[in-house]
Amino acid sequence: MQKWLLLYGLFFSIKLAAQNIQIPYSSTQETLPEWAKLMYSPNADLSTVQIAFEAYYQTHSFQKNKHSQYYKRWQRHFARYPHWQGMSETEQRHYQEKQAEYRQKSLQIQQQRSPSSSWQSMGPFDFDKTAASTSYACGAAHVYTLEKAKSNPNILYAGTATAGLWKSLDNGNNWTLATPNLLINSVRALEISFNDSQIVYFTSDLDGKVYKTTSGGASWSTTGDATFNSVSHFCTDIIMHPLFSNVLLLASNQGLYRTNNSGATWSLIQAGIFQEIEFHPHLPNIVYAIKQVSNRTEFYKSTDNGLTFIQKPNGWPVPATLGDQRRTEIAVSPNDSNKIYAVLTGQVGFASGLHSMLVSNDAGESWSSICCGAALLNFPSTSNPNLMHWADDGQGNGGQYYYDLALAVSPNDADSVLVAGVNLWFSEDGANTFSCPSQWDHSYKDNYVHADIHDIRFYGNEIWIACDGGIFYSIDNGLTFQRRMKGIQGTDFWGFGAGFQDGEVMLGGTYHNGTLLKDNNVYINDWISTDGGDNYRGFVH
């Protein structure tokens, strides 16, 4: 009997309802349909919203926008985990503990099985870009973040949306699962020790914990003491001190935490919702952090190795009462160590998407606006592109700016800046102007990158991108991109079918990556991506 596994799926994974799929969009300045009002209301009921959504589009033509995209992710989350609706936090945690017991028993059963019951993965790991019916938005995985080891440049780790943590030993050409004995789904943040690539930390949406390995992923343990683990953390960043590997900082929805004993305990430095952390490139006693407070973000700075943080508001925008600015990314470069870039997203009046593009030239003491943004010139124009929009000219309102956002600066040239949301944008003049060489649906181009970018990393002359379509890699400053996700079983299938007479003919509708088809070995890389977006089913006659 042929044994195969299409995708590694953690169908029984759970995460807290409070840890939603993304920050909700503001609706204060818009006339919303009833279904959207219901969705954004406290304790929204899934079935009620679904009925209202379907009723609305029976009499209105469908138009893709930030609210319809949010609905898609919101519906997917609660359709998979309906039991979370209406539960108190105590009930959620009790259910979570029971699920942990179930997962442990499942692992024990799995480990007791004989080798003859093993599975073989069939992919998809990549797609045929040359086939005639290739999708306008090809992809073959769903990756949130990645990092390369400083002590060994061939080693990388990647965190996926649905399939745990993955490891490469050959600069991303091949990947293996680094968490085979952990039933982990979403990994949003990870950190590799600068002096030992065997030591890795990552954060999990599944149980809100921070995991650590000292054996390159052969085994894992949870960090923190009972107090730290008594609450479930939704973590978006973890970073190690550049000189002391025992010191790390963690950005959580419960606060900003610090450890000085390699994660044995975590101390709360400041309560609140923290999103980002960066060290000064040359002065490691200086640390920067982004905090979300109500409908805005704030910039904080530490000058004592992260023991205390002080807000630095000089030049930082404050949204109007009816506006919002709830997400920010920051980036630094050793090429100009006191310079910090910040990309802020949100809504100003009826304009939404890119809120502001800021720069600080004095290590965060003061900020000024550059380039573009709704806070600068309101609606998009040729001189004020909305870098969060779907179009490659930025001449549109909106975007998915609370879902996909990334910022990076070249370590060799502080004027070389990359900003991404749906599309990837380049600047070579210090973020004063930007261009988008390849739109998200231009898969025929050599510099194509799949939509919905979550992470950008510079390593020397390499650019690495994690997005809803996998991992993309460039060594020529973005003139061309290669795919680097072979081995990652991270495609999220919503529907699947295989041939009755020929099991090597298979077809599936996926989340983010259209329809993926395998017809024996007809296609280069085995699979072809057709259509685009989110497809629900796959049938083979």
Q: Which residue has the higher pLDDT, 496 or 468?
A: 468
Scanning 246-363, the segments in alpha helix (DSSP H) are: none
Query: What backbone phi and psi angles, to 5 degrees, belong to 467?
Result: -150, -175
Q: What angle do CA 14, 212, 100 make, to 5 degrees?
A: 30
Element at 211 (helix H, strand E): strand 210-213
Give the model confidence (pLDDT) of 352-375 as tens digits.
999 999 999 999 999 999 999 988
Res 274 pLDDT > 80 = yes
Helix (H, G, I), strand (E, B) or coil at 375: helix
Which tokens in the block code for residue 223?
A: 């960090």
Res 18 pLDDT > 80 = no
Element at 103 (helix H, strand E): helix 89-112
Q: How confident is the model at residue 71 (pLDDT cuts 50, 70, 90)?
A: confident
Q: How confident is the model at residue 95 (pLDDT cuts 50, 70, 90)?
A: low
Rounded CA-CA distance 19/70 in Å is: 14
pLDDT score for 300: 99
Rounded CA-CA distance 436/417 in Å is: 12
Element at 78 (helix H, strand E): helix 66-80
Residue of 62, 52, 45, 14 lying closest to 533 (CA atoms): 62
Contacts of 79 (CB under 8 A, 6+ apart): 46
Q: What is the pTM of this model?
A: 0.83
Location of structure tokens 């086939």: 131
Establish how many alpha carbons lie within 13 A of residue 307's alpha carbon, considering only the half-sphere containing its beta carbon: 5
Location of structure tokens 């982990």: 184
pLDDT score for 7: 34
Which tokens in the block code for residue 496?
A: 């699947």
Instruction: Tell me the β-bridge partners of 252.
Output: 235, 255
Res 108 pLDDT > 60 = yes
Residue of 508, 492, 535 lying closest to 13 (CA atoms): 492
Q: How confident is the model at residue 3 (pLDDT cuts 50, 70, 90)?
A: very low
Cis peptide before 115 (omega within 30 of 0): no
Q: Which residue has the higher pLDDT, 483 or 509?
A: 483
Is residue 242 exposed (0-12), middle (13-18) or buried (19+ Cβ within 10 Å)?
Answer: middle
Q: How confident is the model at residue 507 (pLDDT cuts 50, 70, 90)?
A: confident
Rounded CA-CA distance 467/455 in Å is: 7
Q: Count CB atoms within 10 A of the CB of residue 227.
A: 11
Rounded CA-CA distance 151/129 in Å is: 34
Q: How confident is the model at residue 1 (pLDDT cuts 50, 70, 90)?
A: very low
DSSP string for residues in 22-70 = SPPPP-TTS---HHHHHHHSTT--HHHHHHHHHHHHHHS-----HHHHH
Stretch 511-537: mean pLDDT? 77
pLDDT score for 491: 82
- Return the minimum-mean-pLDDT range out of 74-78, 88-92, 187-191, 529-533: 88-92
Contacts of 11 (CB under 8 A, 6+ apart): none
Share of the chain above pLDDT 70, in %: 82
pLDDT score for 9: 34
Helix (H, G, I), strand (E, B) or coil at 134: coil
Rounded CA-CA distance 158/125 in Å is: 14
Contacts of 31 (CB under 8 A, 6+ apart): none
Res 100 pLDDT > 70 = no
Give the model confidence (pLDDT) of 410-467 as tens digits.
999 999 999 999 999 999 999 999 999 999 989 889 999 999 999 999 999 999 999 9
Rounded CA-CA distance 414/428 in Å is: 9
Give the model confidence (pLDDT) of 111-150 as tens digits.
666 555 567 787 888 877 777 667 788 888 899 999 999 9
Among 33-47, 476-490, 500-514, top mean pLDDT goes to 476-490
Tell me the residue ranges of DSSP E strands in 242-286: 248-252, 255-259, 267-271, 273-279
Rounded CA-CA distance 276/326 in Å is: 12
Contacts of 115 (CB under 8 A, 6+ apart): none
Rounded CA-CA distance 301/185 in Å is: 32
pLDDT score for 12: 31
Helix (H, G, I), strand (E, B) or coil at 84: helix
